[in-house]
Chains A and B, each alone.
Chain A
Amino acid sequence: MSDVSKTKQEAVYVYQAPIRIWHWVQAFAILALGITGYLIGSPPPSLGGEASDYYLFGWIRYIHFVAAYITVIGFVFRIYWAFVGNSHAREIFLPPVWRPRFWVGVWHEILWYAMLVKEPRKYEGHNPLAVLAMHFMYVWGITFMIITGFSMYGESTGFGTWQHTYFTTWVNPLFGQSQDVHTWHHIGMWVIIVFVMIHVYVAVREDIMSRQSIISSMISGWRQFKDDRPADKD
């Protein structure tokens, strides 16, 4: 890291504390949801003995539902924070797709990842390609999972409950039937898994190779820069 040792432009406070807490809560919730969700589709080997001695599958589903509620409450909070937080809190919800500059930035990032340009641009917040991935894979992905998830949850809580009334009644016919909702929710899980894989890889890579800090920023909130040249916008 030859250029890191030189002086830096001052660090910028990007991720406010609530965002950082939300990020890590969401990360662990997704981990729990992914593991239990996979097990709900492909249960662990059968247990012998008396049914009354165990509640294994019940616990697996329970953890899934608890993590799901944490995700939902967190997501609602995250949307709220997009309104009251700093400008970076809005990035993943509103990619400025109407600005040509944004697409130039996306193209530059693609070239950067294709290793066709020597240097990435410098961003205080997310780079434009990251904004797109966050928006379409995370924001819409998790919204899809919340809606289909509540639809299936409403089947257990039953007719007349708010989950059933506001989700199951229209989601089931929309997809065909309950089994289809299960199948799509399952595909949604894999979309999120793929998102997480890319997200973690890119975060590590950018931390090493880009011109700003990535992983430590989600812990401290401060974006540090490795050189003095001005940051790019969008």
Chain B
Amino acid sequence: MHETFYDVMRRQGITRRSFLKYCSLAAGALGLSPAFAPQIAHAMENKPRIPVLWLHGLECTCCSESFIRSAHPLAKDVILSMISLDYDNVIMAAAGEAAQAIIEETIEKYDGNFILAVEGNAPLGEDGMYCITAGKPFVDELTRVSQHAKAIISWGSCASWGCVQAARPNPTRATPTHKIPGIADKPIIKVPGCPPISEVMTAVITYMLTFEKLPELDNQGRPKMFYSQRIHDKCYRRGHFDAGQFVEKFDDEGAKKGYCLYKVGCKGPTTYNACSTIRWNGGLSFPIQAGHPCIGCSEDGFWDKGGFYERLSDIKGFGIEANADEIGKTAALIVGGAVAVHAGASVIKRIASKGDDA
């Protein structure tokens, strides 16, 4: 039997006091009452670690970079030991055939009981030849391993939505996990973001281990506890938004005073994520706090909406790219012109017909 989390932590020299502190913090991060801390501690003392296979497709490794920086006091030591991260080709020491053998071994030993974490996505173009792992198309490995998994975690916007490699015209046909033909009919948890917040990633895993069930998901498959509110709803600059105080350009007085970034394209009002509450790098800051508009990196299609610094999105299909106002004003102008011409013609006609009557 696998070691429990507690065994691993003790083995790594973590005191029981630190362990209990971690459990309370984990309860807090999951939005549970302090009463749940003992439950988390109990789970960690008694439950075997769940094996995780972490596969990498077309991606930039930012999810891994974020994950290993989880600033939770013990996270960087604990989370990696807490799950039995059997395979993760980015951070594992093994390589080559020895590494690939681990996948087979895990499938054999824990068939239907391990978690498949996917970072990046699979390109379907040219039979998947745009992404090769261990000499085979990644899409084949992904679909095969998915058949044996208990659940699938789609890390980041790549696995959840497609992200920049799926941007128009998507030459490699990069496809998010849930849309890949042949992917097993297993629960898929989307944890979007480019990258997702580290504490969100670790908390999703902690929840699954502690309660032995998936966190509650919204109808698009995202954990509700982190993706049920917009950046905007908890933004500390919201007061400036309601007041009508905006940054007009990045070097103006408003920017210095920390006004709302809405007019320079902030996607906070349309982005579901926890950045404005959990923040980044141990709660240090998040883009808006640093004076940069949210680009909406956890939303589907954020990469194809035109400039990050524009309030209104580009709309494709008009030959040139235009936003709703440009299209609307053009249409209104054409109709207005037509009305004027028509009115003029009507007047002429009327005068002419009056002449007839007379």
Contacts and interface: CB of A to CB of B under 8 A. Distances in A.
Contacts of B343: 201, 205
B241 interface: yes
A46 B332 contact: no
A54 to B, nearest CB: 4
A18 interface: no
Interface string B316-358: 0000000111011101100110010011011001100110010
Interface stretch (B4-12, B52-60, B129-137, B243-251): B243-251
Contacts of B89: none
Interface string A4-44: 00000000000000000000000000000000001001111
B271 A190 contact: no
Contacts of A217: none
B229 A54 contact: no
Contacts of B305: 179
Contacts of B312: 41-42, 183, 186
A197 interface: yes
B270 A190 contact: no
Given A43-B262, A46-B254, A193 B241 contact: no
Contacts of B229: 158-159
Provide the main secondary structure of the chain B interface.
helix
Given A169-B219, A209-B346, A186 B244 contact: no
B311 A42 contact: yes
A201 B243 contact: no
A50 to B, nearest CB: 8
Contacts of B336: 197
Nearest to A115: B349
Contacts, number: 143
Contacts of B228: 158-159
Contact of A46 (B220, B224, B259, B324): B259
B311 A190 contact: no
A182 B270 CA distance: 9
Given A51-B239, A53-B243, A187-B328, A177 B346 contact: no
23 contacts: A2-B354, A41-B324, A42-B311, A42-B312, A43-B246, A44-B244, A46-B244, A53-B243, A54-B244, A177-B270, A177-B296, A177-B301, A178-B269, A179-B301, A179-B313, A180-B313, A187-B324, A190-B325, A190-B328, A193-B328, A194-B335, A198-B339, A201-B342
Given A155-B269, A158-B228, A187-B324, 12 more contacts: A53-B243, A57-B241, A118-B353, A155-B270, A170-B219, A178-B269, A180-B301, A182-B270, A183-B312, A186-B312, A197-B336, A205-B346
Interface of B: 218-220, 224, 228-230, 233, 239-248, 253-254, 259, 262-263, 267, 269-272, 296, 299-302, 305, 311-313, 315, 323-325, 327-329, 331-332, 335-336, 339, 342-343, 345-346, 349-350, 353-354, 357
Interface of A: 2, 38, 41-48, 51-58, 60, 113, 115, 118, 155-156, 158-159, 169-170, 172-173, 176-180, 182-183, 186-187, 189-190, 193-194, 197-198, 201, 205, 208-209
